[in-house]
Amino acid sequence: MERKAYLSEVDLLDYERSREWAKDSALSLHEKIGFPDEYREGYTGAILEDILAKLPQLGGDGRKILDLGCGCDELAWEILRLSDERRHECWMVDSPEMLALLAEHLPESRRYRSCAGKFPDEHGALIAGHRGSFDVVLVYSVLMYVSVHDSIFNFVDKAVELLAPDGRLLLGDIPNRSKRRRFFRSPAGIEMHRAFTGSQDTPQVDPWELEYGKMDDSIVFAIMQRYRAGGYETYLLPQGANLPMANRREDILIERRP
Ligand SMILES: C[S@@+](CC[C@H](N)C(=O)[O-])C[C@H]1O[C@@H](n2cnc3c(N)ncnc32)[C@H](O)[C@@H]1O
């Protein structure tokens, strides 16, 4: 009961909270990275496939990859399995606690470099030493940890600096409250709500609500515009319908021109 409240949607996320979860032995690995088990259990293959379609360099050979906010769970394991298979140079960035869990739980030993600390504040050396060199920067399900107590633009400005020409940055799995509201006003959303609550109620959606700390269309489109204005191409992409939160999450792809 307590655990559900701990992980409830109204909780605001940030890097320090994530460090606390990493240390909490009562939580599963999915929960340590902020997901109730049912949102990740059995979905890693579909998530990886969706990411690969957006970041085809991951399926190439010998590329330089950064998984920024990699967590410690199956998705990070799969990125590392693929990296070994494709002989990528793979860098994993997260808190010291999360990287320790990753090393502890990896099912097989993998070649990768870990770089612990909060991005970008504690990664001056990584940024200075590797500017313009990564073919792929993956930021999956991380942006909402930055959006309340830190600056999204500080984070993404520093992340795009790392991209090599023709490199791609995926800001994946962004929870967009505007998209969620549109969904719960649709027949499919109403049906889902009724099945979930076991009632005939219609979900109450206030189209004008300013939801403190939550990402919405205004933030998503500001990101799209800012990096276009900075010379990058940006694309707003849907998630595969087989992903657990495709009805309320989406991805931004940022591409550095060759
Ligand atoms: C929801 S988890 C996602 C983990 C992994 N990308 C996945 O999808 O399985 C978010 C991760 O981002 C990390 N994180 C959040 N803000 C960060 C920051 N500023 N620098 C580095 N890591 C960060 C958290 O510690 C956490 O492990």
Tens digit of pLDDT for each residue in 223-237?
999 999 999 999 999
Ligand 1, atom 15: closest residue by C-alpha: 15
Rounded mean pLDDT, 7-19:
75
> How much is the pLDDT for 207?
84
Please state at what angle helix 74-85 crosses helix 44-54, rounded to 10 degrees: 50
Eight-state DSSP code of residue 204: -
Candidate of 11, 23, 33 to mutate for ligand 1, largest count of ligand atoms within 8 Å of Cβ: 33
What's the pLDDT score for residue 66? 98
For residues 153-179, average pLDDT: 98
**Does the pLDDT at position 1 exceed 80?**
no
DSSP per-residue letters across 126-144: HHHHHTT-EEEEEEES-HH
Q: How many residues does the chain have?
A: 258
Q: What is the CATH number of domain 44-176+215-255?
A: 3.40.50.150
Measured between its terminal Cα atoms, the distance across the chain in Å is 52
pLDDT digits 0-9 by tens, 74-131:
999 999 999 999 999 999 999 999 999 999 999 999 999 999 999 999 999 999 999 9
Domain-wise residue ranges, the chain: 44-176+215-255
**CA of residue 70 to ligand 1 center, whole Å:** 6
What is the C-alpha separation between 203 and 103, in angstroms, rounded? Answer: 43
- DSSP percent split of the chain into helix, strand, coil, nearest 5: 45, 20, 40
pLDDT > 50? residue 5: no
pTM of the prediction? Answer: 0.95
Residue among 9, 18, 171 whose CB has most ligand 1 atoms within 8 A, to mutate: 18
Predicted confidence at residue 209, as pLDDT, reads 86
Closest-CA residue, ligand 1 atom 14, reads: 69
Going by C-alpha positions, the residue among 50, 76, 35, 79 that lies closest to residue 250 is 50
% of the chain beyond a pLDDT of 70: 96
Structure tokens at 156: 């993404």
The C-alpha atoms of residue 147 and residue 104 are separated, in whole angstroms, by 29
**Average pLDDT in the 17-35 region?**
95
